[in-house]
Amino acid sequence: MAETDIHPLQTSVANDTKVSSYNKHIGSKLGDPARRLLETYSKISSDEIEKHVYAIGAASDKISADGAPSEHLYGSDLRPEFFELGYKLFRDEDTLQSNFIVGDVFDPSPPLSALDGKIDIIYAASFLRLFGYEDQIRVCKRIVNLLKEKKDSVVLGRQVGNANAGERPRRNGPTKARRRHNEESFKKMWEEVGNLTESRWRMGHGAGMIRPCFD
Ligand SMILES: C[S@@+](CC[C@H](N)C(=O)[O-])C[C@H]1O[C@@H](n2cnc3c(N)ncnc32)[C@H](O)[C@@H]1O
């Protein structure tokens, strides 16, 4: 297998236990769509892929690979090293023109607030689930603020859920519990968000892979 240039960054992220998305075994679990993306978009040969890949958010790269003009895409995260990792993972630093914003979703000031009211579609995967209920409400309100005030604005995402909705203690990390939702509780939360933001939300959902979750 060929060497790649990701490893020093992987190590610094992996050594930080706050990074919940780090998974050093992900390479062997990649599904066909992810393999195809890396082979066709990132031009990584199939025998390099397992060594090359570790788990990080990759929405911009995937959406761009699907044909969206990348200069219209914005990505935001608390931690800038994920943007750098994304470039290295997909080898698209010279071509991807997405705008990456380092910021805390709870911070109401710029740079994130400069986008208030300007976004059509928000993709927030594995994100709400990091927080307890009150903070999930705060994040959802933030999401609503970012979206254009129009009928077709859309929020997409994927979350770990639980048939028995409720707070779950964090696996590693000191303090606050995280809220797990089922369909009903998620819908109810968005009703509350709608009331708080004077907006209305129609929810569609689909259950994906069901597997034990330990975080
Ligand atoms: C579990 S990862 C999900 C990443 C990506 N969406 C995906 O599906 O792979 C959660 C991300 O949220 C970021 N994050 C955590 N707290 C945040 C906050 N307060 N503001 C912005 N980003 C935050 C973390 O740095 C991490 O990259």
Amino acid letter, residue 207: A
Cβ count within 10 A of residue 169: 9
Report all structural domains of the chain as residue ranges with CATH numbers, in order of start: 1-103 (no CATH), 108-204 (3.40.50.150)
Rounded to whole angstroms, the Cα distance separating 26 from 13 reads 15
User: 10 — phi, psi (to 5°)?
Assistant: -55, -45
Query: 77 alpha carbon to ligand 1 midpoint, in Å?
Result: 6
Nearest CA to ligand 1 atom 16: 78
Mean pLDDT of 90-114: 94
More confident residue, 192 or 4: 192
Confirm or reject: Cβ of 106 under 6 Å from ligand 1.
Answer: yes
Query: 17 alpha carbon to ligand 1 midpoint, in Å?
Result: 14
Query: 111 alpha carbon to ligand 1 midpoint, in Å?
Result: 17
pLDDT tens digits, 134-155: 999 999 999 999 999 999 999 9
Query: 82 alpha carbon to ligand 1 midpoint, in Å?
Result: 9
For residues 83 and 9, the answer to whether their CB atoms sit within 8 Å is no
Q: What percentage of the chain exceeds 90 in pLDDT?
A: 52
More confident residue, 73 or 63: 73
Q: Is the overall model pTM greater than 0.85, yes or no? A: no
Name the band, by pLDDT with cuts 50, 70 and 90, for residue 106: very high
Confirm or reject: Cβ of 78 under 6 Å from ligand 1.
Answer: yes
Mean pLDDT of 50-76: 79
4-8, 92-96, 132-136, range with the lowest pLDDT: 4-8
pLDDT tens digits, 16-38: 444 444 556 666 677 888 888 88
